[in-house]
Amino acid sequence: MKAVYIYADPNKNANIEPYVEVISNRCNELSWESPTVYADGFPNVKQGGLNELMVKIEQGKVKGIMLFSLEAWTKERHKFIPVVGKMLQNTKELSVACAPGLGVLHGMKDLAKLEGLFVSNEYFSNLNSVAVKVGMSKSDKKKGRPSLMDTDRDFVRQVAVLYNQNLSTKGIAQRLGVSYHKVYRAIKHLQKEGESDGKGHN
C-alpha cells in the first residue's frame, strides 16, 4: 500500500483540509491512487498516527510513503534520522508533499537530500502557504487573508527587532530561515502599524 503521514502541532487546533489539499495535489502528480492516511495533531481526526504507520512499515506493508512535511521533527532533530531513516530502509519510495521539487527519494543514500529541506526556501514557503490557509479556516472573517499578527505574533516581533537593526528583507529571511515573502509581509504590517501610530519606520 501507499501511505501518507500528516502532522500538525496539537496546540494549533488545526483543520486538516488545507493539508489534504496539498497532499492530494502531490498524489495526483505521482499518480498515487487512494493512499492510506495517517495523522497526528488534529483534534477531530480519528486516523491512526505515526506509531500505527511505523508498525505497517516495519512489517513491509508500505511500498511508498509521503510525508506532508518534516514539522514533527524540526525541533527535535535527534529523532529525525532514526524515524525517517527507518522509513527509507523499509519502503521503495518516499516523498515530501511540501517539497515537490525534491522528487522521490529511494533509500538511505537520499537522506542527505531530505535533511536539506530544513533550509529550503521552497519548503518553508509552501509550509507558510498552508499555515495561512489554516489560519483562514479558523478565522471568523470569511473574506481576506489573516494578518501575520493573527497567525504568528512571535515571528512579527522577531522581524521588528531585526528590521530596527537595519537588516535587509533578504537578510532577515536568511537569519530566520523563512521565505522572503513572509518577511516582506511582516515588514509591510509593521510599516502600516507605524503609520497608524504616527511614528513610521525609517
Q: In this predicted model, what pLDDT tens digit does every residue of 103-127 receive, in sequence order?
A: 888 888 887 777 766 656 655 566 6
**Number of domains present in the structure of the chain:** 2
Per-residue pLDDT averaged across 43-70, rounded? 87
pLDDT digits (tens, 9 = 90+) for 139-165: 554 444 555 555 577 788 888 888 888
- 138 lies in some domain: no
Residue 15: the pLDDT is 80
- 67 forms bridges with which residues in the sheet? 5, 96
Percent of the chain with pLDDT over 70: 73
172: three-class secondary structure by DSSP: helix
pLDDT of residue 195: 58
Shared-domain flag, residues 164 and 82: no
Q: Do 35 and 82 sit in the same domain of this protein?
A: yes
Read off the CATH number of the domain in which 52 is found: 3.40.50.1390
Domain range for 103 is 2-119
The one-character DSSP state at 24 is H
The answer to whether residue 157 is domain-embedded is yes
| CA distances to 23, 25, 62, 94, 163 from 31, in Å | 12, 10, 16, 14, 44
159 and 115 part of one domain:
no
Check residue 180 and give its pLDDT.
80
The rounded distance, in Å, linking the Cα atoms of 78 and 191 is: 39
- Structural domain contains residue 10: yes
Do 182 and 83 share a domain, yes or no?
A: no
184: left (phi over 0), alpha (psi -120 to 50) or beta: alpha
Beta strands in 54-198 (DSSP E): 64-67, 93-96
Per-residue model confidence (pLDDT) at position 202: 45
